[in-house]
């Protein structure tokens, strides 16, 4: 265990004990207790002294003991509809990976985009972003990395060796994969956990619903813009490869597709279930208008897809369904627990009056709305370089909601860009799993990632401020 983890392990409970034994009230009896629990969670989340999912279980013990909320109310947050929405999404992602459909989709996208160096980079970025919309950014990066390594290997072993142009291409591909995985997840509700944490908070605390389609109307254009800018910054500005020519990459893609063989029946079955699910998510509101008695929700649709993958047999004689329960050992259960912990902490902040206090303080301060929004977006984006984005959103989303109330603006205007900022970590290897995975390839140095990343971070801040100021008021 590293020194920072050892310090964090003991510092968390120490800070908590100090917080609940102060000789005076900072907020109130309940407010101080919630604050003490939040400080313990912050210390463990930042230092990663224990798993961030284990930290998320603390409210389940401490809130009832400290008389903040009864355990039934705390536990309800861990079974929130948003948790099951993501569970269904995880099962679909598991099915895509199990039948290798995600790899086939990625390879065909790269094949379509072309085989000149810049088009190869673009192909990898589009394929990674497309996957990241539906499966975890980690999984999408892991799928793309060996294919990218094979293509780069062709350049290392060619007649002129690994030239400066070759290095620039390698950097563009690797960074392009990481950045697309991060930005691609923003496009859908299930693409990245912070989106779901925020939507869960809005539903449970403020009775505000954002449909799958409504989120895509915001998320897809932002992802597309961010990925386009990332591509141009990489291949036209930071790492150009004007004189690089190779056609062998087409052979690598063809070889990888040949290894997969023809599209199997199971792949087709998963594709059909996946297609129907996405169709229902996108047109849910229209379907409910035509058939109001149905009352479809995104969570119901998600669980329907999961049950279909578990139960519809590919072969009746063999009872051969796509997903078996033992496959769920690969499911990211910890993320589901983390959602619950974040929602429980948000509820604690609400019932103890912390959110109201933040709202009233902001209302009395007369800080300009634009300045506050820009500062929150900037802070969230650069803080996520050092801390888990989902933990950060779980912690700060209720506070940001309180600030929006204090500023007397719709909660969505502030909460959406701040949440999206948490997924725009382009600067450091430890910021997100995709960054760490491509860094481990050995083709990227920290200063190279940081140099490009800081530019993209600042561009993301500017885009999110534009989203806050001009676009969200038109949509909500």
Instruction: List, as one string, the DSSP characters of 408-463.
Output: TS-HHHHHHHHHHHTT---S-TTTSHHHHHHHTTSS--HHHHHHHHHHHHHHHHHH
DSSP state of 244: -
Segments of the chain scoring below 50 in pLDDT: none
Model pLDDT, residue 317: 67
HSE-CB at 367 with a 13 A cutoff on CA atoms is: 18
Q: Is the C-alpha dihedral spanning 376, 13, 350, 346 positive or negative?
A: positive
Give the per-residue pLDDT at 180: 97
Burial of 82 (C-beta count, 10 Å sphere; 0-12/13-18/19+): buried
Distances 12 to 4, 16, 44, 434 between C-alpha atoms, Å: 12, 6, 6, 28
Helices (H), 323-388: 333-351, 354-365, 369-383
Q: Map out the domains of the chain as residue ranges.
A: 1-69, 82-330
Three-state SS for 321? strand
Q: Which residues pair with 321 in a beta bridge?
A: 313
- Look up residue 345 and give its two tokens: 């902490």
d(CA 296, CA 301): 7
Whole-structure pTM value: 0.86
Each residue's pLDDT tens digit, 415-452: 999 999 999 999 988 788 899 899 888 888 889 999 99
The phi and psi torsions of 404 (rounded to 5 degrees) equal -60, -40
8 A C-beta contact, residue 76 and residue 63 = no
Determine the pLDDT at residue 249.
63
Which residue, 24, 33, 42, 27, is CA-closest to 62?
33
pLDDT of 156 reads 65
Angle at alpha carbon of residue 186, lines to 185 and 187, rounded to 5°: 90
C-alpha span between 472 and 91 (Å, rounded): 32
> What does residue 313 show for φ and ψ, rounded to 5 degrees?
-80, 135
How far, in whole angstroms, is CA 376 from its chain's centroid?
19
pLDDT of residue 231: 97
Minimal CA–CA distance to 405: which of 354, 448, 444, 451?
Answer: 354
Q: What is the pLDDT of residue 55?
A: 92
pLDDT for position 248: 59
Structure tokens given for 17: 């004990």
At 132 the pLDDT is 95
d(CA 457, CA 424): 7
Residue 152: left (phi > 0), alpha (psi -120 to 50), or beta?
Answer: alpha
Backbone angles phi, psi at 321, to 5 degrees: -80, 165
Axis-axis angle for helices 164-184, 117-132 (nearest 10): 20
Using CA atoms, how far apart are residues 353 and 409, in angstroms rounded to an integer? 19
- Return the SS3 of 24: coil
């Amino acid at each position: 265990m590293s020194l920072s983890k050892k310090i964090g392990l003991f510092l968390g409970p120490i800070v908590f004990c100090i917080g609940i034994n102060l000789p005076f009230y900072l907020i109130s009896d309940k407010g101080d207790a919630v604050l003490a629990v939040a400080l313990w969670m912050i210390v463990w989340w930042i230092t990663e002294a224990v798993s961030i999912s284990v930290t998320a279980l603390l409210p389940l013990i401490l809130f009832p003991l400290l008389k903040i909320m009864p355990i039934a109310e705390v536990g309800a947050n861990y079974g929130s509809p948003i948790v099951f929405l993501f569970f269904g999404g995880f099962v679909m992602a598991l099915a895509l990976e199990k039948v290798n459909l995600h790899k086939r989709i990625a390879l065909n996208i790269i094949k379509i985009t072309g085989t000149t160096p810049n088009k190869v980079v673009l192909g990898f970025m589009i394929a990674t972003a497309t996957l990241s919309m539906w499966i975890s950014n980690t999984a999408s990066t892991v799928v793309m990395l060996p294919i990218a390594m094979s293509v780069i290997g062709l350049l290392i072993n060619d007649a002129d060796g690994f030239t400066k142009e070759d290095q620039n291409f390698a950097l563009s591909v690797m960074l392009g994969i990481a950045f697309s995985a991060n930005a691609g997840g923003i496009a859908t509700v299930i693409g990245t956990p912070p989106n779901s944490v925020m939507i869960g908070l809005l539903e449970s605390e403020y009775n505000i619903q954002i449909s799958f389609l409504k989120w895509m109307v915001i998320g897809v254009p932002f992802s597309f813009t961010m990925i386009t800018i990332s591509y141009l910054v990489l291949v036209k500005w930071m790492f150009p490869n004007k004189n690089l020519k190779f056609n062998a990459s087409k052979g690598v893609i063809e070889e990888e597709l040949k290894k997969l063989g023809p599209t199997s029946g199971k792949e087709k079955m998963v594709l059909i279930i996946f297609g129907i699910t996405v169709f229902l998510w996108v047109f849910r509101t229209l379907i409910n208008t035509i058939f109001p008695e149905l009352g479809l929700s995104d969570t119901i649709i998600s669980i329907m897809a999961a049950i279909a993958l578990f139960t519809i047999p590919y072969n009746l004689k063999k009872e051969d369904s796509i997903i078996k329960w033992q496959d769920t050992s690969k499911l990211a259960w910890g993320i589901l627990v983390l959602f619950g912990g974040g929602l429980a902490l948000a509820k604690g902040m609400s019932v103890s009056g912390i959110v109201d206090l933040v709202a009233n303080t902001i209302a009395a301060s007369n800080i300009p709305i634009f300045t506050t929004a820009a500062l929150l977006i900037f802070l969230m984006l650069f803080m996520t370089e050092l801390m888990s984005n989902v933990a950060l959103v779980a912690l700060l989303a209720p506070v940001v909601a309180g600030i929006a109330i204090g500023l007397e603006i719709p909660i969505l205007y502030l909460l959406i860009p701040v949440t999206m900022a948490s997924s725009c970590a382009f600067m450091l290897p430890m910021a997100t799993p995709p960054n760490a995975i491509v860094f481990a390839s050995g083709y990227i140095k920290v200063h190279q990632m940081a140099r490009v990343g800081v530019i993209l971070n600042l561009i993301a801040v500017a885009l999110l401020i534009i989203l806050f100021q001009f676009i969200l008021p038109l949509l909500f």
